[in-house]
Amino acid sequence: MSKFSFLLPGIIFLAFGAAQAQSPTYKMGRAPTAAELRAWDNVVGSDGKELPNGSGTAVEGAKIYAAKCAVCHGANGESPSPNPRLVGGVGTLSSGNPTRSSGSIVPFATTIWDFTNRAMPVGAAGTLTPNEVYAVTAFILFKNGIIKETEVLDKKSLVEVQMPNRNGFYPDPPQTTPDKIRSWLPYWNQAKPAAKPAAK
């Protein structure tokens, strides 16, 4: 009897086991229902197409924030550690002492709305109404000096908000040549501009 013939039953057994492990059913769990998929499929992108109807202002958001957010994020969004800051640091990211917050680093206001809607408040995620989420988002944007306190946010106006760090990210894939204002390529991959001669 050849060595191969001796090993053949073991190879067949292993192959059968691997095929079973890759089969589509394990006789546990179930496929999600259409309603469950709709409930989970609630991510809002940068273009805001998925935003629901509703509206809110920072004035309205201040009350909601004080009741449901301040305990973790501080009265004004200053967020005592380890909770992430919501306010401050606009314009500091390129400095030697950057302050990362929702206002300073997030490129789209829809991201603040989306995260608040899906994950806040801690322990009761998903309980805020669309109007409350718009209002809390408006409060955060107002505290960062991005919108006015009485400005109404809704699915149309939210996507028009220009965040301070909108153009602070590199595209994927990266550009191969810098654009006119050299805003996309990292400077360490570019030839440094020639130093200007000193004024006489």
Among 66, 85, 65, 89, smallest CA distance to 77 is for 85
For residue 154, list its beta bridge partners: 55
pLDDT at 55 (0 to 100): 98
Compute the residue count for the chain: 200
Q: What is the mean pLDDT of residues 95-108?
A: 92
Q: List the single range of 119-133, 161-175, 181-195 with lowest mean pLDDT.
A: 181-195
Quick one: average pLDDT of 33-37? Answer: 86
Grade residue 152 by pLDDT with cuts at 50, 70 and 90. very high
Looking at residue 38, its pLDDT comes to 76
Are the C-beta atoms of residues 104 and 143 closer than 8 Å to each other?
no
Q: Is the entire prediction scored with pTM above 0.75? A: no
Instruction: For residue 170, name the pLDDT band (cuts at 50, 70, 90).
Output: low
Q: Are residues 164 and 98 in contact, defined by beta-carbon separation less than 8 angstroms?
A: no
52-166: in CATH 1.20.210.10: no
d(C-alpha 94, C-alpha 14), whole Å: 57
Domain boundaries, the chain: 52-166
CA dihedral 113, 62, 91, 190 (to 10 degrees): -10
User: pLDDT tens for residues 43-98?
Assistant: 899 999 999 999 999 999 999 999 999 999 999 999 877 888 999 999 898 888 99
